[in-house]
A = this chain, B = another copy of it.
Amino acid sequence: MHPTIEWKDGQVVMIDQRRLPLEEIYLELHDEDRVAEAIETMVIRGAPAIGIAAAYGFALGVIRLKPGADIAAEVDRIQARLWETRPTARNLFWALERMRRVFETGRGLPLARLQERLLAEAMAIDREDEDICRRIGAHGAVLIPDGATVLTHCNAGGLATAGYGTAIGVIRAAWEAGKKIRVLADETRPFLQGARLTAWELGRLGVPYQVITDNAAGWLIHTGEVQIAVVGADRIARNGDAANKIGTYSVAVLCHENDIPFTVAAPISTFDFSLAHGGLIPIEERPAAEVREINGRLIVPQDAAVRNPAFDVTPARYITAIITERGVARPPYESSLAPWRD
């Protein structure tokens, strides 16, 4: 039930999220370069899951070092390789910085001890994530009215985390608390995380859902079908501006215009307190092929130009609440988030 990522027999094993929901294929990754490629090509995606993958990749890289290697230089190389995989999700850098601190603290230890410590840290990041998500779920479930239809965008579920989910963690906790809810899942072009991954997860959980095209969300909000929106985040600035999957900004504006609460669920590791506002968050442009093709078949004219911004930033003024493992923050976020600054 936790297929996202695990450490097994000295390898990182993850389900190939590009093939879901029609095929459940597990990949075994033997070195940090394969882990980096898996992050780049979205075998694994979702901010917390990217962080966990990077942590395992870091440990794996050091574990593969031979006695006599220039450890400091190799660690720099391993970290840099993983660091450059994707630019937006804060959790990637948070996890790598955490691994780096373990390395720095353990400098001078025998390589075998260092390897043990780094693997233990990656496993801790993995294990803690599920606990964090369960706490996010518990805090957030309170906000979901019994009988509600909940809108979500992209996949902030078990597949985007160690296994429980952030936004879907909230939905799941409300469902497990006995609330009769249902979910509208935006299909989330171009990668179709909603149609493929959120639908697959909700089906396994037994939560009733319907998949809708992204452009139907606004209309269904407007006609009164939606009582609350819950999404994840890839990076949150200290004023509450939140980067998340492209289309999140639109959902937030449409909720705002129709007086529907729009909430963001994310661990503290997603916050970037060094950024004053969301305009400073780097937005990844992904390969054109993701828009041009679906299932490998062209959907535009051969010579068509496309754009593929993978994320957007929702200004804090559209966000009703930010749900974290430490509780629920409300506007103004500059002050409500401040206590969680480490």
Contacts and interface: CB of A to CB of B under 8 A. Distances in A.
Interface of A: 21-22, 153, 184, 186-190, 192, 195-196, 199-200, 203, 208-220, 222, 246-247, 249-250, 253-254, 256-257, 291-292, 294-295, 297-309, 312
A211 B21 contact: no
Contacts of A246: 213, 215-216, 219
A213 B311 CA distance: 12
B211 A291 contact: yes
A197 B310 CA distance: 24
A158 to B, nearest CB: 15
B203 A250 contact: no
A307 B220 CA distance: 10
Contacts of A203: 301, 303-304
- Per DSSP, are chain A's interface residues mostly helix, strand or loop, or mixed? mixed
B305 A211 contact: yes
Nearest to A182: B305
B196 A299 contact: yes
Nearest to A310: B216
A196 B300 contact: yes
Q: Which 7 A-B pairs have the closest CB atoms?
A: A215-B247, A218-B250, A219-B312, A214-B215, A189-B213, A21-B301, A294-B294
Contacts of A305: 208-211
Contacts of A312: 216, 218-219, 222
Nearest to A283: B219
Contact of A253 (B187, B190, B196, B254): B254
13 contacts: A187-B299, A189-B189, A203-B303, A208-B305, A210-B307, A211-B291, A211-B304, A215-B250, A219-B309, A220-B307, A220-B309, A253-B253, A295-B295
A22 B302 CA distance: 8
Contacts of A249: 218-219, 222
Nearest to A301: B21
A292 to B, nearest CB: 8
Given A203-B304, A300-B21, A247 B218 contact: yes
Contacts of A304: 195, 199, 203, 209, 211
Given A203-B304, A216-B312, 12 more contacts: A195-B299, A199-B301, A209-B304, A210-B306, A213-B291, A216-B309, A219-B246, A219-B250, A219-B309, A222-B312, A250-B254, A253-B257
Contacts of A219: 246-247, 249-250, 309, 312
B299 A294 contact: yes
Contacts of A208: 305
A212 B301 contact: no
